Copies of this chain bind each other. A is one copy, B any other.
Amino acid sequence: MGQMVFKAATKPQDGLTIECGARNFKIILDEPESLGGNDKGMNPVECLLAALGACKCIVAKAFAQKNKINLQDIRIELEGILDPDGFLGKNKDAKIGFSKITTRFYIKADNTKDEIEKFVDFIEKHCPVHDTLENKPAFSTEVYSE
């Protein structure tokens, strides 16, 4: 296929409510009231966890057969630890983003425990969102005044 460009665009609605678009799809992200938002959607760090879990689910479903896994069911729970005092500027020693992300795979498959664990290892290594987190991309920032 070669290199593809994926795009998204984001803009505030009211307060910290953010409208996010990609192709013809839209999601609303926000912050809970405890973090100053209107609580109209999950927040960006929860959305990051959702993208990570969805990506792993997709890799699991798309590549189960090739890995000889008779996948009957999968669900993934994700947890990220973050100290808001970092981005709130209250503690300069606190990491700004997640310090730890835990992925819990719940898999029902007609395979041995060892086969399932090897499959999870395959998923972790072939998940584009996980790879983006594990092996950081180059970043470029452009600023336009309007």
User: CA–CA, A11 to B76, complex, Å?
Assistant: 6
What are the residues of chain B within 8 A of A107 when measuring CB–CB? 143-146
Interface set, chain A 73-91, CB cutoff 8 A to B: 73-90
A49 partner residues in chain B, CB cutoff 8 A: 6-8, 22
Contact status of A16 and B97, CB under 8 A, knowing A76-B10, A85-B2, A113-B145 = no
Count residues on chain A whose CB falls below 8 Å from chain B CBs: 107
Q: Chain B contacts of A135 at CB under 8 A? A: 95-97
How distant is the Cα of A113 from the Cα of B130 in the complex, in angstroms?
Answer: 36
Closest partner residue, chain B, to A108 (CB atom): B146
Candidates B10, B21, B99, B104; contact of A144 at CB < 8 Å: B104
